[in-house]
Amino acid sequence: MTVTTLPLRSEVPQDETWNLESIYPSITAWESAYKTIENRLSEIEHYRGKLAQNPETLLECLTLSEEIIRGAEKVGVYSGLDSQTDASDQEALARSGQGQGLYNKAIAAVSFIEPELMTLGLEQLKKWMDDLPSLAVYKHYFENLERLKAHLRSSEVEEVLAQSSDPMEYFSGSYSSLVNADLEFKLAKAEDGSEREIGQSSINDFITDPDREVRRTAWENYADAYLQHQNTIAAIQTGGFKGDVFRAKVRRYNSSLEASLFPNNIPVEVFHNLVKVFKENLPTWHRYWRIRKELLGYEKLHVYDLKAPFTTKKPLIPYQQAIDWICEGMAPLGDEYVSILRAGSLEGRWVDRARNKGKRQGAFSWGMHDTQPFIMMSYTDDVFSLSTLAHELGHSMHSYYTQQSQPYVYGDYSLFVAEVASNFNQAMVRDHIFRTQQSPDIQMALIEETMSNYHRYFFIMPTLARFELEMHERAEKGEPINAQYMIDLTAKLFKEGYGEEVEFDKDRIGITWAQFGHMYANFYVYQYATGISGANALVNRVLSEGDEAANDYLEFLKAGNSMYSLDALEKAGVDLTSPEPVKAAFQVLTDTVDRLEKLAL
């Protein structure tokens, strides 16, 4: 009997891994940087209680604070990345904890600054910016602090909040260690009797396999491993929810939802608009399930059939081909954008694309002001991997342009706009391939990818957002939470989405909440759906209006945190305070279902 296994991390080619040496050439260099920053933490204490003295003292303090935070962030990014590709590497995991701990210590060390700034008041800060022009770069930062004033606590409370971040990080860390290192999955089995090893880096490949038995056994065995540890994962997840509630209460927000949205100046109505439009459009999903079942020729449609290929002629898309098509799709943004993307993806080794044992689930883009972007994914030579790569490169190019264009204080961006940039790339590349690759196999594969993408971002994520809202509200009321309640709630919400068209395996569907590390980022998942909505609107504008719209989009990428997220998006051409972009994105979904039905008839 043949068993296909995953290689060890040490066995994968270097060109399939990311270039961590661009941050620090060795672990010894990382350790040296760690000690340097750790020793500098006490320097900032010299300024405590003295920021009201004069503008020069304030500028000195802010400059030193940036140096310390920037150094700690770089240390944390290196060790954090190093721990993601092999969960069995205990030394790397330990360094990751050290790096995160140092960053949290640095945040705690500088936590007195913002309360003292608020005591000074915005009017005094405006006067000092006039007196000392070097302070003027902080204008938007100061104004935003004034807006947040009601939720900013004393320097002592702020320090405690910062120090609490370190132990609270262990909810997410414990979850990651459990699901990436300790979960044991039974082998997936093919119709010919061969077996395949399931891992977090291979599960998506298996659930898109043409072999229905591979899909069934992979999906069931994957879910069963989570179910086997449901009580442990539920306890960890409950800690994450209660940590969100704790921070919201300490900062005097009305809810965890408000605590998540208010710092980015986003009204809670944006969240509720999304959920409302999503629920109104569930019949579109029910129609798609019916068409999918008919096209596959199945009497019954199961969840493990939702990504089954419509044809066994699965187009092979090697990594180099994917880069070429992505670059061609992004050409409307100009030669500079394309050349940076191509160089980073190839010789720059931005992308860790290897599939290996112990590699964590999913995909992400990460980095900071003093590093290149880094992408983690598991590339499988198919249209789904191409789409994921385009998505993550959207994040990376967003980071690149922001960090090249903004000072460190504004050199990041909110999660709310992050998912716009990533989905923008996917939609641009998808449009290009639809127009230029007329092979029926590629056309069908691309429709499958489009529906899979919408399934994740416009079905799974809004459903999890509804779950997240109810669980936070339950935690806020002090009501009991356990694994069975979480499974039952998730199952109920997915039942609404699947309707009568999909066979319902209650517990395996109900454990879906446990399969997403996004649950440890307070109200993150809804932003995938708002992101895909904003992205579609901006793609339409760039493709229809040309250079002016493309330049507006590039300015959006460069804005970072120098303006509020909704303002940056409005300047680029989309208003996400309105439900209209979400409705328009659902129309794209409806059009794709129509296209599928016509192509298949």
State the average pLDDT over residues 68-82: 97
Residue 485 has pLDDT above 70, yes or no: yes
Q: Output the CA torsion 265→268→271→273 (10° steps).
A: -110
Residue 2 has pLDDT above 90, yes or no: no
Rounded CA separation 271/467 (Å): 13
Confidence at residue 393, expressed as pLDDT on a 0 to 100 scale: 98
Rounded CA separation 477/474 (Å): 5
* Phi-psi map region of 362: left, alpha, beta (phi>0 left; psi -120 to 50 alpha): left
Confidence at residue 367, expressed as pLDDT on a 0 to 100 scale: 96
Confidence band for 193, pLDDT divided at 50, 70 and 90 = very high
Which two structure tokens, joined as six digits, stand for 503? Answer: 């066979």
Task: Confirm whether 392 is a catalytic residue.
Answer: yes
Catalytic residue among 73, 392, 448, 449: 392
Average per-residue pLDDT in the chain?
A: 94
State how beta strands 3-4 and 195-196 pair: parallel
Write the pLDDT tens digit of every residue in 342-382: 999 999 999 999 988 888 878 999 999 999 999 999 999 99
Write the pLDDT tens digit of every residue in 111-165: 999 999 999 999 999 999 999 999 999 999 999 999 998 898 888 888 888 888 8
Confidence at residue 600, expressed as pLDDT on a 0 to 100 scale: 65
Confidence at residue 3, expressed as pLDDT on a 0 to 100 scale: 65
In sequence order, the β-bridge partners of residue 3 are 195
Write the pLDDT tens digit of every residue in 213-235: 999 999 999 999 999 999 999 99
Write the pLDDT tens digit of every residue in 275-304: 999 999 999 999 999 999 999 999 999 999
Looking at domain 3-13+27-170, its CATH class is mainly alpha
Write the pLDDT tens digit of every residue in 124-135: 999 999 999 999
* Phi-psi map region of 415: left, alpha, beta (phi>0 left; psi -120 to 50 alpha): alpha
In sequence order, the β-bridge partners of residue 142 are none
State the average pLDDT over residues 332-338: 98
- pTM for the whole structure: 0.85
